[in-house]
């Protein structure tokens, strides 16, 4: 009869013996298990804090890259608008037959 049989409705005496044995042994094991559980909790807290810091740094770097990409897109859009305006000005001057020459002062 295995341990599974005890929990599946096996012999009630065996189940009671296991319960009583656990109740007797638990106070003896608790002082040993408490420091182990405490150190596991500490390790978990340290891992959590390090993960939070790493995520914050990742978020900051991602935000910086996003801001740079938006700035580059804005520069490209402004450059395209300026280029289109210059091309339109050049086309208008060519159609009127005038050339663009700097004014010279005659003295």
15: nearest Cα among 2, 6, 25, 3: 6
The 10s digit of each residue's pLDDT in 55-106 is 999 999 999 999 999 999 999 888 877 777 777 776 666 666 555 555 555 5
d(CA 65, CA 42): 35
Contact 93, 99 (CB under 8 A): yes
The 10s digit of each residue's pLDDT in 25-54 is 888 888 888 999 999 999 999 999 999 999
Contact 15, 6 (CB under 8 A): yes
Domain ranges of the chain: 3-79
- Alpha-carbon distance values, 45 to 25, 31, 91 (Å): 30, 22, 69
């Amino acid at each position: 009869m295995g341990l599974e049989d005890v929990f599946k409705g096996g012999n009630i005496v065996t189940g009671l013996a296991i319960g009583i044995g656990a109740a007797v042994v638990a106070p003896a094991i608790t002082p040993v298990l408490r420091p182990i559980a405490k150190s596991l909790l500490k390790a978990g807290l340290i891992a959590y804090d390090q993960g939070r810091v790493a995520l914050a740094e990742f978020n900051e770097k991602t935000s910086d890259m996003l801001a740079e990409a938006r700035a580059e897109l804005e520069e490209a859009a402004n450059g395209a608008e300026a280029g289109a305006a210059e091309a339109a000005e050049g086309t208008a001057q060519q159609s009127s037959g005038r050339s663009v020459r700097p004014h010279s002062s005659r003295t």
